[in-house]
Chain A
Amino acid sequence: MNYLIIPLVFFVLFIFYLISRSKRLSFTNPLFWVVAWWIAFYVILKNAILPPLPSSIIQMFMAIITIALFFYITADTQRLKEAIHPVIQFLVNRKFKLPLGLVIIIIPVLVAGKVYFGSQVKIVAPVFGRSIHPAPPTKINYQGKQLILNELENPYRHLETESPLDFQKHVEAGRKVYYNNCVFCHGDTLEGKGIFAHGLNPIPANFADVGTIAQLQESYVFWRVAKGAPDLPDESGPWSSAMPAWEKFLTEEEIWDVILFIYDFTGHNPRARVEHH
């Protein structure tokens, strides 16, 4: 439904174009077109895309578009002249005295208004932009054992092709681990909507989303599950993540089983290991 806005916007521009061609209206100079395109892009970015883009992304795109349009105008002196001509006329020509006076008054009033409303905003603490997948350590100490993450593999993954029945047993064991331990936060359908999720910040990871375990190697997931929040670097805000360090509760086998389960349930595959030669 929203995508219909794109052809609609272009249609409106096209109508303007037709009018300007047939009537040779004076207002349809390059400046008019630049402003029209600018508005058109804004309308499209703001309304046509679902889910809505964050305002920071829209601002970034609009900055790029502004620069592009600026270059379009200044690249050609004739076009530049044509574009700024009406502006200069407005500022210089006596016949615009009244509107110019109005504009000169309105702008400072708007600025003052903005300052006023800026001072009235609700007080909310600044938000910490955490890094979701920081670089993992090269090795971890797991219950007295040194594990080198680069070499770490899920010892049961090979059963998937070699012995599907045994593999299924591990998945089922992992299911039990999951529903006895992880479900409160990561939820029944693994979408991060557990009964305690609303009280945590950051919210628990959504494993069904393509942005979490689908992007990770199993060794990385092992590190996250075994070591939890406390082992995160500062850029990921370890002080507020509720992700427990499961080495305190689970055996190594249980951790590998639950990892098999979360991939199996969501239908994602772990990212393949990069081979070093």
Chain B
Amino acid sequence: MQFSKKSRSLQGSFLLIIIGVFTICNLYSAEVNLGTEVEQASGKKLYVNYCAHCHGIDGDGKGSASLYFHPKPRDFTSGKYKLRSTESGELPTDDDIKQVIKKGMPYSGMPAFPGFTEEEYQNLTYYLKTFNEDFTDPDFVVDPLVFSKAPPYSEESALKGKELYSLNECNGCHGDSGRGSGVSAPTLEDGFGETKYHIRPADLTKRWTFRRGATREDMYRAFTTGLNGTPMPSYKDSITPEDRWHLVNYIYSLSEKDEPNYSTTIIAEYTEKEIDISQGKSLFENSEAALFPLVGQVIEPGREFFPSANAIEVRSIYNQETIAFLLTWNDMKADTKGSNAPDILVDKFHLDNPKNKQKTLVVEERDKRYSDAVALQVPSKMTSGFKKPYFLFGDKKNSVNVTFLDLANKNEVKQYTGYGYDRLTSVDNHVLAFSNYEDGEWSVIFKYNRNLDGEEGVSFIEESFIPLSFYVWDGFNNEHGIASSITAWYSLYLKASVKKSPIVPMLTYGLLALLLELIIVFLIRKKFSAT
């Protein structure tokens, strides 16, 4: 067969296209890149100085500080990485690893190291890759998935996402309202090493706690790639990209901002009505919520290094005689078996017991010994100026008053006077309490007498700042005694019961200014009008 001139040129262009496709493929396909020995060595130097105490000198995640973190520092020999741009089960790309080092993993022990140079990130990455052989195998080194920018947010899309959320059974782990309280949440385990640790589903109402980050692109990647080593699956094949963006928008709508809106002052609103706490949360509809961070008690012996709760929201209302507080916080599960109290000795299994330092944590044993609990603390009496009792259960000279509710024994409010964490004594009290657990959220109401006739104890007087702070115990996490989560001192302010109109001071100062002006003009005119 004779080729015409035309078909020959066609053949030529085919060849060109094939070669072209080939080179493009080659350009994009990942290659094994382990760096030079010099680069690995300088990565190692950084690793030893900045990472080894957590991730272990051999990269096995068993550094001396690894005891004190949960989730555990990554075992790099496992080759499992949570944050990737690759498909489920695959290795991460160099860029993925560099991003983690640069940005850290919020609300875990993994800190951000924003200060290294590009070269240092790369060298560290080369060194981390030496811990797992798969990185040397071209078959395991893959192309990253391509991600597009987020389409615009809309309420409609978020509503569609809400349907998809239960349709795809995200609620089985993350709970109906996304607070991380699904039915299977208490049973989830991670899979990085031989020891399995319990892993909490993310609290989707707090996007600032997400390991990858709070943007919509971050979330999309989380459920497209899945998080290797965790039960969080990849939905790349089961949910279409469009639906994944609807899901993203739904989860985005569950928290107000990228950052938590922490407050320093609770504003108590005045009400004429009788405060009947059996009405529950609805009593507090008109009062502003103040969100406070909760952190582990790592100050006195009996430390809690990885508390479960990370924030508590507080509202307050008051009337002539009484004041009530609504405390709400998210909890994976209501633990109402066993008991709890601030003055029980931190038990012999606990991590911070010196005899027990090297043992594995009981947290993993989860005997149902301790129940959930909460406490509200105020000074026993107001001190002058800024002076207060020590924020952790008071000090030898200035005591605090701790109102405590064991959620296994909801009818009995306990009150303690604290002259220090080891000097708590139980006292009589007249505080009423109401509590409820629903869909991953505890709500507890305390109702106090305002104590205006100056008896023992702090008086809740209008328009003054009263110090207060909070404690939360999670039974599931074995928190008990002073192994709890705590807040710093914050303030309560009772907004004036009678709203003062600003008209009178406005008129007074305005007229005063006018008078002053007229006097000046008059005097100057009198003196200078001749000229």
Contacts and interface: CB of A to CB of B under 8 A. Distances in A.
Q: A and B: real partners?
A: yes
Interface of A: 88, 91-92, 100, 104, 107-109, 111-112, 115-116, 119-120, 123-126, 128, 175-176, 179-180, 183-185, 187-189, 193, 195-196, 198-201, 228-230, 234, 237-240, 242, 244, 248-249
A195 B295 CA distance: 8
In the complex, which of the residues A92, A189, A199 has the most CB atoms of chain B within 10 Å of its own CB atom?
Answer: A199
Contacts of A228: 299
18 contacts: A88-B524, A88-B528, A91-B521, A100-B521, A108-B511, A108-B514, A108-B517, A115-B505, A119-B502, A123-B495, A180-B67, A188-B113, A198-B295, A199-B292, A238-B395, A239-B395, A242-B299, A249-B301
A176 B52 CA distance: 10
A108 B109 CA distance: 57
Interface in B468-500: 486-491, 493, 495, 500
Contact of A199 (B265, B305, B487): B487
B355 interface: no
Contacts of A128: 386
A188 B292 CA distance: 24
Nearest to A200: B488
Contacts of A176: 53, 64
Contact of B506 (A115, A123, A199, A229): A115
A195 B109 contact: yes
Q: Is the interface of A mostly helix, strand, loop or mixed?
A: helix
A239 B271 CA distance: 33
B465 A111 contact: no
B518 interface: yes
In the complex, which of the residues A104, A189, A196, A198 has the most CB atoms of chain B within 10 Å of its own CB atom?
Answer: A196
A111 B517 contact: no
B510 A108 contact: yes
A196 B296 contact: yes
B488 A240 contact: yes
B295 A200 contact: yes
A46 B50 CA distance: 39
Contact of B390 (A115, A239, A249): A239
B305 A184 contact: yes
Contacts of A179: 53-54, 63-65
B496 to A, nearest CB: 10
B111 interface: yes
Contacts of B531: 92
Nearest to A183: B65
B521 A184 contact: no
Contacts of A109: 510
Contacts of A125: 264-265, 465, 490-491, 493
B111 A188 contact: yes
A207 to B, nearest CB: 15
Nearest to A103: B517
A105 to B, nearest CB: 8
Contacts of B27: none
A237 B300 contact: no
Nearest to B463: A123
A229 B388 CA distance: 13
A185 B265 contact: no
A180 to B, nearest CB: 5
A113 B489 CA distance: 35
Contacts of A237: 386
Contacts of A242: 299, 391, 488
A240 B509 contact: no
A249 B54 CA distance: 21
B407 interface: no
A123 B465 CA distance: 10
A92 B529 contact: yes
B525 interface: yes
Given A119-B502, A184-B305, A199-B488, A238 B390 contact: yes
A116 B506 contact: yes
Nearest to A235: B386
B14 interface: no
A92 B528 contact: yes
B267 interface: yes
B294 interface: yes
B525 A92 contact: yes
Nearest to A110: B513
Nearest to A238: B390
A230 B390 contact: yes
B379 to A, nearest CB: 9
Nearest to B493: A123
Contacts of B502: 115-116, 119-120
Contacts of B12: none
Interface string B291-330: 0111110111100010000000000000000000000000
A240 B518 contact: no
Interface string B350-393: 00000000000000000000000000000000000011111100
B27 to A, nearest CB: 37
Contacts of B390: 229-230, 238-239
B111 A187 contact: yes
Nearest to A237: B386
A188 B50 contact: yes
A5 to B, nearest CB: 28
Contact of A239 (B300, B388, B512): B388
Contact of A111 (B488, B490, B510): B510
A112 to B, nearest CB: 4
Contact of B395 (A124, A230, A248): A230
Interface string B156-182: 000000000000000000000000000
Interface in B415-447: none
A184 B502 CA distance: 47
A197 to B, nearest CB: 8
A86 to B, nearest CB: 12
Given A123-B265, A198-B293, A239-B388, 20 more contacts: A88-B528, A92-B529, A100-B521, A104-B518, A108-B511, A112-B509, A115-B502, A116-B502, A119-B502, A123-B267, A179-B64, A180-B64, A180-B67, A185-B298, A189-B50, A199-B488, A237-B386, A242-B299, A242-B391, A248-B301
A239 B387 contact: yes
B68 interface: yes
A122 to B, nearest CB: 8
Given A239-B387, A239-B395, A239-B489, A104 B514 contact: yes
Nearest to A228: B299
